[in-house]
Amino acid sequence: MIKKKSLLIGILRTGEFTSTFLFFGFLFLSLIIKPVFAQGEFSKSYSIKYTVNSDASVLVEQNISLKNNLANIYATEYSLTLGTVEVNNIWASDNFGSLNPIIEKSNNQTKIKLNFNDKVVGKDQVLNLKLGYTSRDYAQLNGQVLTVAIPRINDETDLTSFEQELLTPLFFEEPIFIRPRPSQTGIKAGFNAYQFDQSSLKNGIFASFGASQIFNFNLKYYLENKDKVAQYLEIALPPETAFQKVYYQSINPDPLDVQLDKDGNWLAIYLLEPKQGIEIKASGAAEIFLEPKGEIKGMKMSNQADYLLSQNYWPVNDPKIKDIVKDLDTVAQIYDYVVNTLDYSYNKLDGSNKRMGAIMALNNPKDVVCMEFTDLFITLARAKGILAREVNGYAYTNNPNLRPLSLTQDILHAWPEYYDWEETLWRPVDPTWEDTTGGIDFFSQLDLNHFTFVFHGLSSEYPYPPGAYKSDTSQGQSLDISFGQLPEERLKTKVELILPKKAYGGQNLKGKVILRNLGNTAIHQSKASWETTGLLNNKQTALVQILPPYGKKEIIINLGRLEPFKKGSVKFKVNYKGEIATEEIGVNSFSPYFSIILSLGGAGGIFLFMLCFKLGKVYLKTREKNIKN
């Protein structure tokens, strides 16, 4: 806030310099200037330097110049509010020397007030203010990744110049991404230096250093069959996506199968006896990428219409929704509308909040959390003919006071995805984080702190994510997620054959091949091949798009029809990922049932011949007798 005074009439006016933030994947700050002095009274320029130290603490140095455009106006006071108490070593000075900052920390905020040493009076006179402090909330070193988020400045009024400089330790080398593009790069005073011009005003600066992020996870599920008959029940396991690779160390007890639904969810199947309950533990690691991986990217979309349908919480055909999308033409415009319409409510983080859906979110735009941001985006996108779905998962933060999720209660984060036809993949975005970070761009690219658990596309509520499978007496958290290391990738498969033990001439020979993934990662775009020799000679292949760990793929095979009355064998051989299974089928010339039929047929023929012979003799004797008479 900048206070100023009129020399002629002595009216005190104030403007505000505030900051908002959110700890979801990371703590971000957004400095938002709200001046109340009249436009044209001052010309402003900013030069801000952020030096990231090896421990991820950031030294912030702000140089602010206020030029008087009028002879009767001067500034007397400067204040700002930072949305964190992690601010230390605050110092300041103006044209006349050092200033004594007045600091107040409360409610997770730091308020800094500076009274200038003297007035700078006269048109075109300049007041130069320097402010510095150290914070741990502009950069985070989490696992394998250094993430830097520099706040944006919302106030462009009377701004004559604006520049920012980011300095990072040399050992981080080149960033894996940085937005916006620096105007200059180089090495300065033992740091990598990135300079930004006024284009960084719009969304601040967002950079990440490190190829990928790695999360280790331990998940607990509880399943119970309350029926009087045995039932197949399922749990959702964190799946692989275009931006996520998963390694499973163990699932105990082993599932019967891990199947993919049409949304791409991984569902582990268990058979429970009547009144039986079991606890399931799954552990492993997930590697999160910024750029999509080739295994998932490019997969065909076979059920497009399902992602345009109205669902509970997504009233696509509601008149209010239809009216809104008339003015929205692109997915980016829909995203911006959601960000600008809704305001995140921290008061709902006590675990008592209830999902509202898109319409209630529009009616209560300041009483929403991530679910409502997601529901509104999906509803508007679908109403506009854009394929969209929901993701439930884990979003990392290391600030326990302000994070809007609680792993002690297994409250997760939600964000939407839309289908990118050009890249042929689901593209994740996070309007919640853009709102709560004051404008950090989470549309162009998501960060490395989003760990996907389940997709909701065909249904807005099912399957349930990890953390939702609890017994009536379950308490405490069932999710344990931390930064870690990747295990060694283990590739192991098993091939099972289900074929007839014997075959017969003329028979159409069929069977089944079962492919099992006993490794710890999914197998993508793999081929199984088989061939027969002997009485049948052919070769066939089958493409398996994805086989998750603990999963199986059953392939019905038609080997062909055997020639009648030939005796011998058919040798069958299957090769899948180097795992070979063989079996030999003995072939008789004809079926024993056929022999019986032939036998019965032969006896009937003899009987018929004898009968005809007898009748013939009777006929001849009768004819001779008639002739004699």
Residues in the chain: 629
**pLDDT bucket at 81, cuts 50 / 70 / 90:** confident
CA distance 329 to 571: 61
DSSP secondary structure letter of residue 577: T
pTM, entire model: 0.75
Q: Which of 321, 318, 362, 323 is nearest to 343 (CA)?
A: 362
The pLDDT assigned to 215 comes to 95
Domain ranges of the chain: 2-209, 304-483, 493-588, 592-629
**CA R_g for the chain:** 36
**pLDDT bucket at 75, cuts 50 / 70 / 90:** confident
Phi-psi region of 472 (alpha: psi -120 to 50; beta: other; left: phi over 0): alpha
**pLDDT bucket at 517, cuts 50 / 70 / 90:** very high
Residue 628 has pLDDT above 80, yes or no: no
Q: What is the mean pLDDT of the chain?
A: 84
Please, what sign has the CA dihedral across residues 282, 287, 292, 295? negative
Beta pairing class for 502-504 and 579-588? parallel
The pLDDT assigned to 299 comes to 62
Strand partners, 250: 283
Residue 549 has pLDDT above 60, yes or no: yes
CA distance 194 to 186: 7
What b-and-e string marks burial along 148-157, b requiring 16 or more CB atoms within 10 Å of the CB? bbbbbbbbee
Poorest-pLDDT segment among 128-132, 506-510, 624-628:
624-628
CA distance 5 to 10: 6
Class of domain 2-209: mainly beta
Q: Does domain 493-588 have CATH number 3.50.50.60?
A: no
**pLDDT bucket at 155, cuts 50 / 70 / 90:** low
For 476-535, give the secondary structure using H, E and C: CCCEEEEECCCCCCCCCEEEEEECCCEEECCCEEEEEEEEEECCCCCEEEEEEEEEEEEC
The pLDDT assigned to 15 comes to 29
CA distance 119 to 74: 7
Asked whether this chain's domains 304-483 and 493-588 adopt the same fold, the reply is no
Residue 592 has pLDDT above 70, yes or no: no
> Tokens for 568?
């011998």
Domain boundaries 304-483, corresponding CATH code: 3.10.620.30
In the chain, % of residues over pLDDT 70: 82
Span 70-80, average pLDDT: 85
Highest mean predicted confidence (pLDDT) among 67-81, 134-148, 230-244: 230-244
Q: Which of 255, 327, 49, 329 is nearest to 166 (CA)?
A: 49
Span 359-379, average pLDDT: 96
Residue 8 has pLDDT above 80, yes or no: no
Residue 624 has pLDDT above 60, yes or no: no
Read off the pLDDT of residues 242-275 as tens digits, 9 standing for 90 and up. Answer: 999 999 999 999 999 999 999 999 999 999 999 9
Backbone angles phi, psi at 360, to 5 degrees: -65, -30
The pLDDT assigned to 333 comes to 98
DSSP secondary structure letter of residue 132: E
**pLDDT bucket at 440, cuts 50 / 70 / 90:** confident
Reduced to 3 DSSP states, what percent helix, strand and coil does the chain have, rounded to the nearest 5? Answer: 15, 45, 40
Query: Contact 413/349 with Cβ under 8 angstroms?
Result: no
- Give strand ranges (E) for 116-156: 126-135, 139-142, 145-150
The pLDDT assigned to 622 comes to 56
CA distance 8 to 604: 132
The pLDDT assigned to 358 comes to 97
> What's the Cα-to-Cα distance from 567 to each of 497, 537, 561, rounded to whole Å?
23, 15, 14
Task: Report helix, strand or coil for 222.
Answer: strand
Query: Contact 315/373 with Cβ under 8 angstroms?
Result: no
CA distance 305 to 547: 25
- Measured in whole angstroms, how far is the alpha carbon of residue 596 from the centre of its chain? 64
Span 210-217, average pLDDT: 89
Task: Report helix, strand or coil for 340.
Answer: helix
The pLDDT assigned to 40 comes to 76
Q: Which of 91, 178, 177, 84 is nearest to 137 (CA)?
A: 84
CA distance 531 to 537: 7
Span 319-329, average pLDDT: 97
Residue 339 CB coordination number (10 Å): 22
Residue 474 has pLDDT above 90, yes or no: no
Poorest-pLDDT segment among 47-51, 63-67, 588-592:
588-592
CA distance 205 to 180: 6
The pLDDT assigned to 618 comes to 57
The pLDDT assigned to 608 comes to 56
Q: Name the residue with higher pLDDT: 145 or 460.
A: 460
CA distance 518 to 496: 13
